[in-house]
Amino acid sequence: MSEHQGLNSSPNEWPRTLFYVALLFSTYQIITAAFHPVSSQVLRAGHIGFLLLMVYLCYPLAGKSRPWQPLAWLLGLAGMATFAYQWIFEADLVQRSGDLSTADMVVGIVLMVLIFEAARRVMGIALPIVCGAFLAYGLFGEYMPGDLAHRGYGFDQIINQLAFGTEGFYGTPTYVSATYIFLFILFGAFLEQAGMIRLFTDFAMGMFGHRTGGPAKVSVVSSVLMGTITGSGVANVVTTGQFTIPLMKRFGYKAAFAGGIEATASMGSQIMPPVMGAVAFIMAETINVPFVEVAKAALIPACLYFGSIFWMVHLEAMKHNLKGLPKDQCPSVWEAVKKRWFLLIPLVVLVYLLFSGFTPMFSGTVGLALTAIVILGSAIILRFDSFWLRMAFWVALGVLCAGFFQLGIGVIFGVIAVLVATCWFIKGGRETLRACVFALAEGARHAVPVGIACALVGVIIGIVSLTGIATTFAGYILAVGQDNLFLSLVLTMITCLILGMGIPTIPNYIITSAIAAPALLDLGVPLIVSHMFVFYFGLMADLTPPVALACFAAAPIAKENGMKISLVAVRVAIAGFIVPFMAVYDPALMMQGDSWTATIYMVIKAMFAVGLWGIAVVGYYSAPMAWWERLVAFIAGFSLVLAMPWTDEAGYAIGILLIAQHVWRVRRRTLAAA
């Protein structure tokens, strides 16, 4: 087995050296998050150093062959050397900031080359090409015509900006990756190892498996629940999809539809509070708002997104008369919750902390610690039959949760150490310890593509902040849009979707938020709404052809062409294209208004619009719809989106009349047939 294959397999099958590097990486991140032993700059440098070491030990120069070990170690340790240089010479680097020595230049160039090559190995050539174009602009942009020209910058200035400041490789995305994102990835990895996926799938199966279109509804609901802890769309496709896609196919859904449903539902995890995806944390830091504000703005659109997918699934099932599983074959909801209810404790505490104003870093650290306590504690307490002893343990855990402010992180980690020692000596405890160790390694594995993307897009942030190109680009959008908000929104949407052809969501958001969001701000769109707009369409880019990363991840499971799955996903994800436009025209949909009445009205309007568009796309309501009915439904839904004088009234009137006549026509036909 190659080491490249090892990174994409279970930690059980990893090469030993790689496994230990991953454990060391996670340990470093936990210690720096809990006890803050180093400065922010050194923390970021260490994060990138470990990322580079893992990448070069895992990914070969090309293909899937085994990396040549001497070269792999040379490149990986060179990455770690850049970390050591930042740590050892931190004070000197601060004192001579902007005046680089020869050694500084060498280290900066090595770091830049290593990051570009690591990104190419992990994500392909598209993102390095885009970032390389920005780098070339920084170096040679002074020779460009017109407004695109800048005043000119030397090579040493570019290296200083990218490798020795907080606006390049060590910028905000890397900081967020090294703190919030890594902790939340570990949080999800621990819960997965503990059986949270089984809890979610059993719950979804018990609630919806026996209903009309049950397997597809299970896919949607399980993806919603998974999204609350992982925030990773592709990861959800390859976990829940292994179960839901074959189940949908077995009960009559076409392979492309089954894959499209899973891909669309899984990608929604990035907008589902409380955890959301990595972009949400980067957005909070970029626009300098509490994370809870981002989560609050995303809540209603996320519910509409998943609600629309559920609605489309229901209509498709009704149209093709697709039944669910026999009820006696579905697991019991009560039994599923009864067996693993304790796994919800860390999630509930995490939500409480996030929405109580605590920082994501503190919340993630406490949530991760409590997850470890719950997993290790349950392994101990479940060995005893006494109900009262078990209750005493959970009460003690509750007291610990309530008193962690006074106890401090150090005491909580001391409790974990005691539980680890106890598990070592009890029957079955070592299996639990092994699962926790695997979770640490798995978290490091999931952090690699996210972290490398965050590091490389530092090129874009650094060059944009150095040259001011964002202002120029915003001016072009405004000039083309001619102060027309709708046209500017469409241009921004197209930009996001084009950039999504081979670029992950994180760099997509960073690029568009840097160069397109300012144009929306100039047109009067609120700050958080403008950033959410580009975030949503960066997300949709993972579903749209020709790249459609999530759809191609579902393709081998569904045994169907990824392009066909992508076309279905775009059709199913209609709310993902509608809701952002509605939120721009009325920010109350993202709870940015002054009145709850306005928010409630917008929710009702959005639900009706999404419902009409679903009917138009599927072509079914209570019976198959005529072509003209589908066209009228589309027009009514579009009228509700426009937000112009009388368009809401027209949309409601047309939609209600359409549904009324359709129901009357179907009933008359049924009576005539009888």
Write out pLDDT tens, residues 502-539: 566 777 787 777 777 777 887 788 889 988 888 888 77
Q: Is 501 exposed, middle or buried (0-12, 13-18, 19+ CB in 10 A)?
A: middle
Q: Which residues contact 437 (CB under 8 A, 6 or more apart)?
A: 23
User: For all residues of the chain together, what is the average pLDDT?
Assistant: 82
Q: Is the dihedral of CA 41, 45, 48, 54 positive or negative?
A: negative
Q: Closest Cα to residue 451, out of 86, 162, 49?
A: 49
pLDDT (tens digit per residue) in 40-81:
999 999 999 999 999 998 888 876 666 667 888 999 999 999
Q: What three-state secondary structure class fits 620?
A: strand
Residue 126 has what pLDDT? Answer: 80
Query: What does the alpha-carbon distance between residue 50 and residue 64 come to, in Å, rounded to a whole number?
Result: 22
Cα–Cα–Cα angle for 424, 426, 427, nearest 5°?
Answer: 115
Is pLDDT of 148 > 50?
A: yes
For residue 83, pLDDT beyond 90: yes
Which residues, at least 6 apart from 317, have a Cβ–Cβ distance to it below 8 Å? Answer: 212, 213, 216
Are the CB atoms for 599 and 588 separated by under 8 Å?
yes
Q: What is the mean pLDDT of the segment spanning 320-336?
A: 80
User: What would the mean pLDDT of 599-612 be, rounded to a whole number?
Assistant: 90
Q: For residue 9, name the pLDDT band (cuts at 50, 70, 90).
A: low
Question: Residue 250 is encoded by which pair of tokens?
Answer: 């077995």
The pair of three-digit structure tokens given for residue 558, joined into one six-digit string: 């569904």
At residue 78, the pLDDT reads 95
**pLDDT band, residue 500 (cuts 50/70/90):** low
Structure-derived torsion over alpha carbons of residues 230, 232, 235, 236, reported in degrees to the nearest 10: 70
Q: What is the pLDDT of residue 405?
A: 58
Q: Residue 154, SS3?
A: coil
Question: What does the pLDDT read at residue 209?
Answer: 81
Range in 177-181, 366-370, 474-478, 581-585 with the lowest mean pLDDT: 474-478
> Which two structure tokens, joined as six digits, stand for 626?
């005529």
CA distances, 100 to each of 97, 158, 165 (Å): 7, 11, 12
Q: Can you give the pLDDT at residue 64?
A: 67
Measured in whole angstroms, the distance separating CA 410 from the mean position of its chain's CA atoms is 30
Cis ω for the linkage preceding 504 (within 30 of 0): no
Burial 136-161 (b: 16+ CB within 10 A, else e): ebbbebeeeeeeeebeebeeeebbbb
Contact 253, 321 (CB under 8 A): no
Give the DSSP letter of residue 181.
I
The pLDDT-based confidence of 638 (bands split at 50, 70, 90) is: confident
Write down the residue that tokens 């020209």 correspond to.
149
The residue among 450, 455, 453, 444 whose CA lies nearest residue 57 is: 444
SS3 call for 624: strand
- Is residue 198 a contact partner of residue 339, using CB atoms and an 8 Å limit? no
Closest CA to 378 of 345, 413, 411, 335: 345
- At residue 11, the pLDDT reads 54
Handedness of CA 573, 575, 576, 578 (dihedral sign): positive
| Mean pLDDT of the region 381-391 | 72
- pLDDT > 70? residue 202: yes
The arithmetic mean of pLDDT across residues 147-176, rounded, is 87
Tell me, what's the pLDDT at 191?
A: 82
Amino acid 4: pLDDT? 41
CB crowding 69-82: b at 16 or more within 10 Å, else e:
eeebeebbebbbbb
In angstroms, the CA 183 to CA 189 distance is 10
- 290 versus 236: the higher-pLDDT residue is 290
Q: Which of 102, 113, 104 is nearest to 79 (CA)?
A: 113
Give which of 239, 4, 22, 282 is closest to 122, Cα–Cα.
4
Q: Distance between CA 220 and CA 215 in Å, rounded?
A: 9
Q: How many residues does the chain have?
A: 674
